[in-house]
Amino acid sequence: MTKLDQLIEELCPDGVEYQLIEKVCDISGGKDHKALKEGGVPVYGSGGVIRYVDSYIYDRESVLIPRKGSLSNLYYVNTPFWVVDTIFYTKIDENVINPKYFYYYLKTLNLAKMNTAGGVPSLTRTLLNKILVPIPPLPVQEEIVRILDKFTALEVELETELEARKKQYEYYIDRLLTFDETIPLVELCKLAKIGTGSSNTNEAMEGGEYPFFVRSQDVLRKNTFEFDETAIITSGDGVGVGKIFHYVEGKYALHQRAYRIHFKDKAVIPKYFFFYMRNEFLKYIQRRAVHASVTSVRKWMLDEFPVPIPPLPVQERIISTLNRFDALVHDISQGLPAEIEARRRQYEYYRNKLLTFKGVES
């Protein structure tokens, strides 16, 4: 039996009382911050900290709840702060409820579903005050907080590790893919066949047999294929121009505004080019763009893209090194992103389980 189980059995074996939020805390609105001087006190809006000022609106533990905008962005604060009028702050009765426990419980609720507006998402104080919160004895609340804090700390540790590995990856990819003048540069059109597909997005089928590459990082499915080859795919237009790349081996379908690059020249290993293009192509098309931002990729941009061709053993070493880093920092099925996602799911499962009580509403 865990410590939490023991506390529940000892202190609330028959369930817990539920209280309206208005019985355990006061919900207060924010104020304008524009006249405040710069300082060290964070000013919160519904999207997070927007500046730092020299005054505070409240200086005790609080849970901040958006009034407008991103309604699921809850914040636990334990230092002096200021809030603007798009977010509520709470004055919590700590003799009844642990502020961090209150925060964790509110995170289990989908506050966005309580939206009362047809335009900008909004919450009202009246609506929030009528939410029921389970109030186990404080020792039980404190143990729940201790457990969930451990999960949170682990996720932060993993995210910090991922950020460090991303920086390491960027260092290595820049170093590995920077060549001196002894390495020849050849236009892409002289090395590879470049073309588009003929499919439309509405032809996608859930559970289709073949991957279907569109103008997105997401890969759809289709029951027919257009190509059977090794290729690099990039979008011709859309939100991710110059940022979307796929490496494919085998049968696949392709959107009519996505490009395929299939190498004919054996002097270039396709996977090496995939890494090189992903690192360099956006910078290249930004230099070539007529407008300030790139809205589409024209075939001539791909044709003229200069490709450095180091010896094949060098390409193989680059592939080997970057494959390991790529799996570690980008692959959502393995490496740190997968570990973070698994820990997040585990945290949400235990959080919901720990914060579900039998009891009667008061």
Pairing mode of beta strands 82-83, 359-361: unpaired
DSSP 28-59: EE----TTSPEEEEEEEETTEEEEEES--SB-
Q: What is the pLDDT of residue 291?
A: 58
Sorted by where each begins, the domain ranges of the chain are: 18-135, 137-177+311-362, 184-309
Q: Is residue 2 within 8 Å of 344, Cβ to Cβ?
A: no
Whole-number Å distance between alpha carbons of 139 and 159 = 30
Tally of CB atoms within 10 A around 53: 20
Whole-number Å distance between alpha carbons of 148 and 104 = 8
Q: What are phi and psi of 92, to 5 degrees?
A: -95, 135
Pairing mode of beta strands 82-83, 38-45: parallel
Q: What is the pLDDT of residue 359?
A: 60
Chain centre to alpha carbon of residue 61: 27
End-to-end alpha-carbon separation of the chain, Å? 29
Whole-number Å distance between alpha carbons of 120 and 112 = 11
Q: What 3-state class would DSSP assign to 255?
A: strand
Asked whether the domain spanning 184-309 has the same topology as the one spanning 18-135, the reply is yes
CATH code for residues 184-309: 3.90.220.20
Residues facing residue 171 across a β-bridge: none
Host H or E run for residue 307: strand 306-308
Name the architecture of domain 18-135: Alpha-Beta Complex (3.90)
Q: Is residue 205 within 8 Å of 222, Cβ to Cβ?
A: yes
Residues facing residue 341 across a β-bridge: none
In order along its 362 residues, the chain shows pLDDT tens digits of 578 778 777 778 778 899 999 999 999 999 999 999 999 999 999 889 999 999 999 999 999 999 887 777 899 999 999 999 999 999 999 999 999 999 999 988 878 777 766 566 778 888 899 999 999 999 999 999 998 988 888 888 888 888 887 888 788 888 889 999 999 999 999 999 999 999 999 999 999 999 999 998 889 999 999 999 999 999 998 877 888 999 999 999 999 999 999 999 999 999 999 999 999 999 998 887 655 567 789 999 999 999 999 999 999 999 998 888 887 776 655 666 777 777 788 778 777 777 777 664 44
Q: What is the pLDDT of residue 289?
A: 66
Q: What is the pLDDT of residue 296?
A: 85
CA–CA distances in Å: residue 229 to residues 202, 267, 297: 24, 17, 22
Whole-number Å distance between alpha carbons of 49 and 89 = 14
Q: Is residue 134 within 8 Å of 105, Cβ to Cβ?
A: yes
